[in-house]
Chains A and B, each alone.
Chain A
């Protein structure tokens, strides 16, 4: 294995139908019009010296090192800023250029520490490289004059340092922050010799608006911005390309290694989802993989009040299998089930659902998509015919209007948000539908054309009101609808939304959004060629989550915004493999590829392949399993990589269900909260230890490659296999690629997927089969998967969760940039520097009414629970709405959320909980009790070494 170094072409690629031919150093080259001379030269393999240029950034032309000579032209133009022209004769190496470049380098080095041998960037420094390239042999100026050698070092950021003494003020970091990340946190302060890179208003990096995406560190050509892990460990010697295990963007990374130690994670330029960009989580927050809390030995216990006992793999697997068999013999086959993980690979997930269906002989299998995007699956399947987003991420580059509904991409999907913001800076219009004033509403160089700050729980009213405008103002794309959609269903829907009760004016009483704004937004969305909807859990986690998904699909079909680049209905998936875990048959009613378990011919294929007779009836969903446990008919569960005791709503109900079971098997990397109720703990692996595939929000199947050996000794798929074998259902796979081969053989949309294809292409988007051998970036081109697009009636039904005298505020929950889901990973990294605890955001008006000041402890009470946390006064909230996150254990945000859920899928209504907030000076009873229980439940009797 070697260290992968991607080619830097110096300036970005240009796409043009017009091609230009020129000569560089006597060699002819033909490139698209608009290409720089520097890039054209690199296409030939000719490296023109450079410092301020890199191909992720627009040319800047400040270092002058890339000067060239062009026959017939005066001077020495910068090759980075000079576009190619037909017939040019360019020379990159002449005596004149050599002298010029050497002089430039001499000036740079005259104000640069000469500590190359002890510098952290030694061997990976473009300044050092260029000194060698131009043949710099002496610096005539000495260090006696004014210089920056004693400039202070900023070490405030937990992940990287800023050493101003090594800065050559090339502005690559500033431009990366602007062009790549879109945060505009960095600037060049002062002028001339006094110029310095500054984070914000001369703040340190940690205190500034910097979001630690790492783009500046990536762009820096010297040791000025440097990862602390590299400073500590030294330069990496090999790298492994893999896929990030945080959000559903699915960024490709190079795990840069020294032996089996990860030195740094750098975004992979050829990654189709991220194109070389990253966020603070994927780039830096991987230290949890070696955190001291990792559990690497199997453990069992008789009762959850007992301490854990470390045992051999054989004993743990044997005990789990015997318990499941005992429970099924005593209580019936249907008394057990399992939960697959959206953090695990497709292969691992497929195997768990196979174990449950074929090994346990039941369909009681579910996945965490139950609590996030299950309405997406249902809604898009009903309207379009398939349970997935319609576009690839790059599609946003051609969107004229972007409508973001119930999503906060700059926090939840930051790398895609950067791509989106780039398009917005180019002039695309923006509609934000969100109760909160999220960053996209107004931030550096971004301003939403419409922000519709609806009351939580009224999404369907808003989408119906927009549809009303489109239908009654003649904005329907009649030709598209006539050709592509079911006429009867459309006519019925048109009549429904045209009713006056669905007008923006009539619905304003529910939504709180001025009708004129709804009308304006609808006209904007309908009035362009390419309009794209991007949405998140603010859509799905409602009692009408599925209705809203269908409402958005209706809107997109009515305006012809499905089936071409720049448009579509796009779910921003929460976890890395939510799409994949759903694809793999994790829902109790469907087999891999979204085929209902009751479909005889489909089930028969699996019967044949798996050698069993599958139950044709759907199994229990997660909340139904917990209900059944409390009712006494569900007694055992195998949970891989999920933490329902923290992530799921109404925790007291969840834990009552878990506590009622006789065998809970948890397979995870840490003793998570669910493990507090477990009887068997099977140590799992991090993404760095996995081999397999993840499927991101754009249906892209990406390889996950093992960078370090599995800490517990076995890969997760091997553990599932051992458990299955112990249960008496044999599984024999030698490598995850064999599992993927089985998936492909049984799943029409994966028919052509193989590890060989993934090695060849890098990644593919399903459907990938005979009709689309290399995958499908855009779905529903020419025809919907279901045939004719189906409009659904989306009656607005207000949630049963209502505010009243006892609970007058609405709580809505979400997540923030630096933390991820239940925080099991990110809480065990330096990301806690940005978010050490969950807080309650409350509007100044609501706070004042209750005498609450910034930082006060407040009690938040709903009809199901109470917790105490700190208040933060924020105008991001509208009056009457409060907000918190669920990243920290002690906060117990989900003690408050209720078990109300989506009508079609049981996806919990996290986004709407009626609460009251009061000043408090103590933790809630649940917090006190749980802390005591938690400590007792996590005791471990270590085995002798």
Chain B
């Protein structure tokens, strides 16, 4: 499978940014935790794999809070990081 992401990176970036928009109203640490927890609890692993791959490729388009949260989540879930 060359493109095992359940949604192009544009879709995943938009979704991650929308989640970050909600948690933007919270103090930063809570916001980061909120975004990371939401993605962990509601995104299928292949979606997380997809956004982690996008992050590894520079993470274009990700809002700062989304990026920080995804970096944290990616560090917690190394098994979902793609080598490609």
Interface residues, chain A, CB within 8 Å of chain B? Answer: 331-332, 334, 363-364, 496, 543, 546-547, 588-589, 596, 598, 617-621, 623-625, 627-628, 631-634, 793-795, 797, 800, 899, 903-906
Contact A589 B25, CB 8 Å, known A627-B11, A631-B6: no
- Cβ B26 vs Cβ A793 within 8 A: yes
Given contacts A547-B22, A631-B4, A632-B3, 18 further A-B contacts (CB under 8 A): A596-B41, A598-B41, A618-B42, A618-B43, A619-B44, A620-B47, A624-B44, A627-B5, A627-B6, A627-B8, A627-B11, A632-B2, A633-B1, A633-B6, A793-B25, A903-B15, A903-B21, A905-B42
Contacts of B24 in A (CB 8 A): 795
Interchain CA distance A331-B1 in the complex, whole Å: 8
Q: Do the beta carbons of A903 and B26 come within 8 Å of each other? A: no
Size of B's binding interface in residues, CB under 8 A: 26
CA of A677 to CA of B49, assembled, Å: 29
Task: Assess whether B7 is interfacial by the CB under 8 Å rule.
Answer: yes
A589 contacts B42, C-beta separation under 8 Å: yes
Q: How far is the CA of A617 from the CA of B44 in the complex (A)?
A: 7
A105 and B67 alpha carbons, distance in the complex (Å): 83
Chain A residues with CB under 8 A of B22:
546-547, 795, 797, 903-904
Measured CA separation A388–B62 after assembly (Å): 34
28 contacts between A and B (CB under 8 A): A331-B1, A332-B1, A363-B44, A496-B25, A546-B22, A547-B22, A588-B44, A617-B44, A618-B43, A620-B44, A624-B7, A624-B44, A627-B6, A627-B7, A628-B7, A628-B46, A631-B5, A631-B6, A631-B8, A632-B1, A632-B2, A632-B4, A633-B3, A634-B6, A793-B26, A794-B25, A795-B24, A899-B11
Q: How far is the CA of A628 from the CA of B38 in the complex (A)?
A: 20
A624 pairs with B4, CB closer than 8 A: no
Say if the beta carbon of B56 comes within 8 Å of chain A: no
- Would A543 and B44 count as touching, CB distance under 8 A? no
- Which of chain B's residues 9-60 have a Cβ closer than 8 Å to chain A? 11, 14-15, 18-19, 21-22, 24-26, 38, 41-47
Kindly state the separation between the CA atoms of A338 and B46 in the bound complex, as whole angstroms: 17
User: Which 5 residue pairs are nearest across A and B when measured between Cβ atoms?
Assistant: A903-B18, A793-B25, A627-B7, A628-B6, A795-B25
Min Cβ gap A620→B in Å is 5
Q: Establish whether residues A334 and B21, one from each chain, have CB atoms under 8 Å apart when the complex forms.
A: no
Which residues from chain A contact B8 at a C-beta distance below 8 Å? 627, 631
In angstroms, Cα B38 to Cα A800, docked, is 21
- A631 vs B25: C-alpha distance when bound (angstroms): 34
Contact pick for B38, options A543, A632, A794, A904, CB 8 Å: A904
A617 touches B26 (CB 8 A): no
* Chain A residues whose C-beta falls within 8 Å of the C-beta of B2 in the assembled complex: 632
Residue of A nearest to B22 (CB): A903
Instruction: Compute how far the CA of A501 lies from the CA of B46 in the bound complex, rounded to whole angstroms.
Output: 40
CA A628 to CA B18, docked complex, whole Å: 20
**Chain A residues closer than 8 Å to B38, beta-carbon distance:** 904
Q: Which residue of B lies closest to A362 (CB)?
A: B44
Determine how close the nearest CB of chain B comes to the CB of A65; give it in whole angstroms: 65
Q: Are A624 and B21 in contact (CB under 8 A)?
A: no
Given contacts A631-B6, A903-B15, contact A334 B46 (CB under 8 A): yes
Bound-state CA distance A588–B42 (Å) is 8
CA A662 to CA B7, docked complex, whole Å: 18
**B47 with A633: CB separation less than 8 A:** no
CB of B41 within 8 A of CB of A633, answer no
Measured between C-beta atoms, what is the minimum distance from B18 to chain A in Å? 4
Closest chain A CB from B69 CB (angstroms): 13
Kindly list chain A residues whose C-beta atoms are within 8 Å of the C-beta of B4. Answer: 628, 631-633
Complex Cα spacing A598 to B47, Å: 17
Closest CB-CB distance, A363 to chain B, in whole Å?
8
**Looking across the interface, which residue of chain B has its beta carbon closest to that of A331?**
B1
- Chain B: minimal CB distance from A63 (Å): 63
| Min C-beta distance of B48 to chain A, whole Å | 9
A794→B26 CA distance, assembly (Å): 10
The chain A residue sitting closest to B26, CB to CB, is A793
A819: shortest Cβ distance to chain B, in Å? 32
Closest Cβ neighbor of A797 among chain B residues: B21
Contact across chains for A617 and B45 when beta carbons are under 8 A apart: yes
Contact A795 B47 (CB under 8 A): no
User: Bound complex: CA of A496 vs CA of B45, how far in Å?
Assistant: 35
Report how far A230 CA is from B77 CA in the complex, Å: 66
Bound-state Cα–Cα, A330 to B28, Å: 44
Residues of the B chain whose Cβ atoms lie less than 8 Å from the Cβ of A332: 1
Complex Cα distance A618/B39, Å? 10
Would A618 and B41 count as touching, CB distance under 8 A?
Answer: yes
Cα–Cα distance between A750 and B26 once the two chains are bound (Å)? 36
**Residues from chain B with Cβ under 8 Å of A628 in the complex:** 4-7, 46
Q: Report B-chain residues with C-beta under 8 Å of the C-beta of A899.
A: 11
